[in-house]
Structure 1
Amino acid sequence: MQNDKIIINKVIWGKIKKILYNPITALILTIVTGLYFYLVPLSEKEPSYFFSRPQLIAAKANENLKFFYKDKEVKNVYLTNLVLWNKGKEYIDNNDFIKSKPIKFYSKEHIQILSATINKKSRKDLNFKNEIINDTLFISLINDEAIEQGDGVNFHILFTTNLPPKDDSFILNSRIKGTKEGFKYQNVNNFNKTNDIRTIYILWGAIIILLLIRIVTLFIYKKDIVFRTKELFFFTCAILYTIYLTIKHIYFIVNIDWL
């Protein structure tokens, strides 16, 4: 039965301390920490956008059923949803927009944009101005507002075209101070929209409490810290799973529950 247990006694503690106090260990931890804060900034702007696959919502059936736009007949009407939001932790305010280079949404195909209306937004006081000029939709933030983390807006855009539109029919150009690319395309279908933060807190709390109870109890009674192999396997799996959820929450969660 002894082989079924892992004992952490004074000898093991001594070896662990030597490893932790080793200058090489300190160097490795310093490099890893430095790389983390370099590659994963604590605060950054991440303006993001997504547009949905064009959906046909109306088409000319016969001479008795026609559709007109400004007294001009159109053969069909398509719908696409344009979503703009801030995925980063740093807010984007009105001063970050370049007035001479507003958000520009247009098509590389022969598409006529008929209208653009705000369908949803994260806050009532978050307002955007939109204008259609030469089949190009121009969007800008108005008033002294800011797009906080997770803030955004969803536009319903109606358009007509002679040929069936492709999934990548549209292009969005923008210029936001503090970013290299402005608004960057993010496919929300590839992200997990479920917020697991409560589960992560519960798991980390349970792991830490269970480990502390075991360690503190045995320390008080001046006994070696003993883990059965199954227990160690359980804790290892729980820690790895919780690390996985934590990484997924940091990198693969889109916090746009207002959408």
Structure 2
Amino acid sequence: MPGLRRAIGRAAVPIVGIAMALTCAAPAQALPTPADLADVPSRTSISYEHVPTGTYVGSPEDNSARPGLSTVKLYMADYVVRRGDGSPRDRDLAARMVQVSDDSAASVLDNKYPQAIDATAAEFGLTSTSRGGFWGSSYTSTADTVRFLAAKKRTDPASPVLAWMTTAAPVARDGFAQNWGTSLLPGVIGSKWGWADDRSSVVASASIGTDFVVASNTYGPTRSNTDDVLATLGDVELTAPPAPAPVPDLPVIPGLPTVEELLQMLAPR
């Protein structure tokens, strides 16, 4: 049956090629797992959430209340935008808080809306967040920061607070660089940073990607924050892996093995 043999010969090459591709293709990397964050140094807290699936992972310190620094300006800005008096001046001050981390703008809005941080914490279930005597003495956790940002991306993706994070200036109002920590992770499109007055005892960074959010806080300088963040998540896929390509339905040709049989034949023994 020379005709059938020729048909088999023509079909065998693409079938074997498909089987080889299925066998040799590298599996897509998974999202971060608890194991990825299990060994974060105690000086640092890191939290991550993949927004579409709600996958959350955090380091052992993720729920600890730490100095909120300027990351709490995100909570304040959201309150001002949605629940303030709507004045152009308030909106400008809120933008300056996020984009250039303007402390003077934060103090003006904190005096006008002293309830902003605690009200935002209550609304979004930020259980480790509290204002203290004024915005600069507030506390929050990386889990709370991630919970807030994930909720904004999920329910209010057009929020100006998120937009201001994507247009943050490279240098803050006080001259401090804004180019470290979580902002250096692959896929990040916007960030907010915070630092103590001495610029080295405690720092924080929080970032958003297209479909993820991440936050960190370190008792130490920016270099330590960056090192811990990159050592933990720098080589981990932060976005959802692509769905595997479907195996095509191939015609059944008498005398030829199926794709499944070819995979078994090609599997290492």
Q: TM-score, normalised by structure 1?
A: 0.31
Structure (1 or 2) with the larger CA radius of gyration = 1
Q: TM-score, normalised by structure 2?
A: 0.30
